[in-house]
């Protein structure tokens, strides 16, 4: 699990990940690089990191620039930033979202050779940057938070990435680094304000909206905080695991058993005001309009019970797929699957 999470960090990838993947021996050909990068990749990455550190009032990171990068690794690092923007564009446009999550993992694998990541991890430059960000030197925490932040706020991330790309297009790598610093700072601020459970919950909600093909959630998110979102995730994941771990023909019975033993207790920890806020939200109105039924109504609950009893094998398979996504911390995909199921239940009316 730690290896998987380590490969998911979306920013500087400071973690030292154990993998047999290696970068190609030869640097990319000039024709494969953006014109602004191809002339001198190492100089470009030097200016980028200078701009990044200057954003936090830090001295030029000479160790990172001159001890950790060469022309090949500098070129690949900058290309990865450019390509990540393309992935964000496609994700926001809902173009094969799940595929692009896998592509992100592949790009992160290709960013650094071990000597580069090990070198950066050992520098005082990194310590200074982490201190400026108010972040602990914890690769596991960094990987998890960046992964959850991406799933919760990928649309906002694209907006924040705009100034970075403007710098690349103009060949102003210092400006690109400064914009990247602003983006990193905003990310850390949001993570601290929202908390990991809330970020995961927002990612799940985003996925649900994608699964039923409506706009990403907006006002309904205000109903939750890190504590209540954690309870809701505990409820959803617990119920999913109870069904997935049992026999398919006992799907409904196992769900009922979970509710009686743990689920109801967890549910009661969520204030009634949360459900009232959700029921009256514009987001719920959009869901109701899309599906032709209010998913928070007694009518939908009865319909769901009827569907599960009629399709125990399909429900069991659905739970197994969702549980796999939860295990990978892929809350967006779990939400998408939940959206598919909700849409299927609504159609059985």
Q: Do 160 and 305 have their domain in common? A: no
Per the model's pLDDT, the better-predicted residue between 9 and 142 turns out to be 142
pTM (2 decimals)? Answer: 0.85
Tokens of 61: 């990171």
pLDDT(9) > 70: no
Q: Collect contacts of 276-280 with beta carbons under 8 A, ≥24 apart.
A: 277/220, 277/222, 277/223, 278/220, 278/223
Q: Do 184 and 203 have their domain in common? A: no
Q: What is d(CA 271, CA 282) in angstroms, rounded to the nearest whole number?
A: 20
Q: What is the pLDDT of residues 26-48, one digit of tens each?
A: 444 444 456 667 678 999 999 99
Q: For residue 249, count CB atoms less than 10 angstroms from its CB and return exposed for 0-12, middle for 13-18, buried for 19 or more.
A: exposed
Q: What is d(CA 115, CA 264) in angstroms, rounded to the nearest whole number?
A: 51
Q: Do 189 and 207 have their domain in common? A: no
In this predicted structure, what is the pLDDT of residue 92? 84
Per the model's pLDDT, the better-predicted residue between 72 and 7 turns out to be 72
**Res. 233 pLDDT band, cuts 50 70 90:** very high
Alpha carbon of 149 to those of 25, 56, 77, 133, 323: distances in Å? 33, 21, 21, 16, 20
Domain C-terminal end among 155, 178, 194:
194
Alpha carbon of 138 to those of 14, 133, 148: distances in Å? 10, 13, 16
Q: Do 240 and 92 have their domain in common? A: no
In this predicted structure, what is the pLDDT of residue 107? 52
In this predicted structure, what is the pLDDT of residue 143? 74
Q: For residue 173, count CB atoms less than 10 angstroms from its CB and return exposed for 0-12, middle for 13-18, buried for 19 or more.
A: buried
Please state the domain count of the chain.
2
Q: What is d(CA 63, CA 93) in angstroms, rounded to the nearest whole number?
A: 39
* Ranges 52-56, 139-143, 315-319, 327-331: which has the least confidence: 139-143
Q: What is d(CA 327, CA 306) in angstroms, rounded to the nearest whole number?
A: 28
Q: Do 177 and 238 have their domain in common? A: no
* Ranges 63-77, 170-184, 279-293: which has the least confidence: 63-77
pLDDT(284) > 90: yes
Question: What integer is the mean pLDDT of 146-150?
Answer: 87
Q: What is the pLDDT of residues 291-333, one digit of tens each?
A: 999 999 999 999 999 999 999 999 999 999 999 999 988 899 9
Q: What is the pLDDT of residues 159-201, one digit of tens each?
A: 999 999 999 988 999 999 999 999 999 999 999 999 999 999 9
Number of C-beta neighbours around residue 127 at 10 A: 12
Indicate the average pLDDT of the chain. Answer: 85
Q: How is 261-299 classified by DSSP, letter by letter?
A: IIIHHHHTTS-HHHHHHHHTSHHHHHHHHHHTS-TTSHH
| Cα dihedral across residues 142, 148, 151, 155: positive or negative | negative
Q: Do 230 and 343 have their domain in common? A: yes
Q: Do 185 and 98 have their domain in common? A: yes
Domain C-terminal end among 147, 174, 194:
194
Which domain does 220 fall in, by range? Answer: 199-347
Q: Do 188 and 319 have their domain in common? A: no
Q: What is d(CA 57, CA 132) in angstroms, rounded to the nearest whole number?
A: 9
**Res. 105 pLDDT band, cuts 50 70 90:** low
Domain C-terminal end among 177, 194, 211:
194
pLDDT above 90 covers a percentage of the chain that reads 66
**Res. 80 pLDDT band, cuts 50 70 90:** confident
Q: Do 242 and 325 have their domain in common? A: yes
Q: Do 208 and 128 have their domain in common? A: no
CB 9 within 8 A of CB 143: yes
């Amino acid at each position: 699990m730690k290896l998987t999470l380590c490969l998911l960090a979306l920013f500087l990838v400071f973690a030292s990940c154990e993998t047999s993947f290696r970068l190609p021996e030869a640097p990319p050909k000039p024709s494969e690089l953006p014109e602004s990068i191809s002339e001198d990749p190492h100089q470009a990455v030097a200016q980028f990191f200078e701009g990044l550190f200057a954003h936090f009032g830090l001295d030029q990171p000479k160790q990172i620039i001159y001890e950790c990068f060469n022309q090949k690794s500098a070129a690949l690092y900058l290309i990865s930033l450019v390509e990540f923007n393309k992935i964000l564009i496609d994700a926001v446009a809902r173009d094969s979202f799940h595929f692009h999550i896998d592509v992100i993992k592949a790009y992160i694998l290709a960013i650094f050779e071990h000597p580069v990541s090990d070198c950066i991890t050992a520098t005082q430059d990194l310590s200074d940057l982490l201190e400026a960000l108010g972040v602990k030197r914890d690769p596991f925490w960094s990987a998890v938070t960046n992964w959850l932040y991406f799933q919760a706020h990928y649309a906002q991330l694209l907006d924040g990435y705009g100034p970075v790309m403007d710098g690349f297009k103009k060949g102003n790598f210092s400006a690109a680094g400064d914009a990247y610093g602003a983006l990193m700072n905003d990310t850390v601020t949001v993570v601290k304000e929202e908390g990991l459970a809330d970020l995961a919950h927002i990612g799940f909600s985003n996925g649900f909206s994608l699964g039923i093909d409506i706009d990403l959630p907006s006002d309904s998110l205000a109903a939750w905080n890190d504590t209540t979102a954690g309870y809701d995730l505990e409820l959803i994941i617990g119920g999913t695991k109870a069904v997935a771990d049992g026999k398919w023909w006992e799907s409904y019975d196992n769900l009922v058993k979970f509710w009686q033993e743990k689920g109801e207790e967890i549910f009661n920890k969520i204030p009634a005001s949360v459900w009232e806020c959700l029921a009256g939200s514009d987001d719920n109105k959009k869901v109701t309009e899309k599906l032709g039924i209010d998913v928070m109504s007694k009518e939908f609950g009865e319909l769901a019970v009827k569907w599960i009893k009629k399709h125990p094998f399909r429900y069991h398979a659905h739970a197994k797929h969702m549980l796999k996504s939860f295990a990978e911390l892929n809350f967006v995909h779990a939400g998408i699957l939940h959206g598919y199921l909700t849409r299927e239940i609504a159609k059985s009316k």
